[in-house]
Amino acid sequence: MSHSNALRHSDPLAWLIASEEIRQLASRYAIFYGARDTQNLAALFIPDIKVTRETSGTQALKESFDGQMHSLGRVILQVNNHLIDVADQAAATGIVSCRGEIEDADGNWIIHQIQYHDTYKCVDGHWLFARRKHLLWYGHTMPNAPVGLDDANWPANQTGRGELPECLESWQTWKANN
């Protein structure tokens, strides 16, 4: 990854806007993934994104995300550090640190420490992922998994199961169709 932010020196406002839009892109990915909003998740990528050797495009990526999620329960992604290098008004790269709490098909909860190596492209005035490479620092079973908890009924009780993600319309639609 380049440590050049050429745009920062030539057009600081454009650099600032690009950096913030890219930062929001990573956060949207985390939120849409956890909500099972695969349509909006796939739309975060360039329209001609290569999915496999044989497939490309937003619909193929949506179908790929749908397939990946069959073996998962709840997924919580927390975006942490985000290093962004904006090369110019159309290209940037970044590294995103992310902590994941992931429920597998057996109800086990796993903690992941992830680092994404991203390539971004500005298409029709919107920053999108051109490439997103998922690298894993580690995955470890959570010692006190939140499986089988009683309802928290927050704010009356601080511990227990909350309403997310089941209260999200996108989650309900995804569950009904899978």
Compute the distance between CA of residue 120 and CA of residue 13 in angstroms, rounded to an integer.
18
pLDDT of residue 51: 96
Q: Which amino acid is at 87?
A: A
pTM score, whole prediction: 0.88
Compute the distance between CA of residue 85 and CA of residue 1 in angstroms, rounded to an integer.
8
User: pLDDT tens-digit profile of 34-55?
Assistant: 999 999 999 999 999 999 999 9
- 139: β partners: 112
**104 within domain boundaries:** yes
pLDDT of residue 12: 86
User: pLDDT tens-digit profile of 85-135?
Assistant: 999 999 999 999 999 999 988 888 999 999 999 999 999 999 999 999 999
Q: Which helix (H) or strand (E) holds 132?
A: strand 126-141
**58 within domain boundaries:** yes
> What CATH number is given to the structural domain containing 133?
3.10.450.50
Q: Which amino acid is at 105?
A: A
Number of independent structural domains in the chain: 1
**50 within domain boundaries:** yes
**1 within domain boundaries:** no
**98 within domain boundaries:** yes
**120 within domain boundaries:** yes
Answer whether residue 1 shows pLDDT above 70: no
From 20, 17, 66, select the one nearest 41 (Cα to Cα). 66
Domain residues for the domain of 115 are 6-177
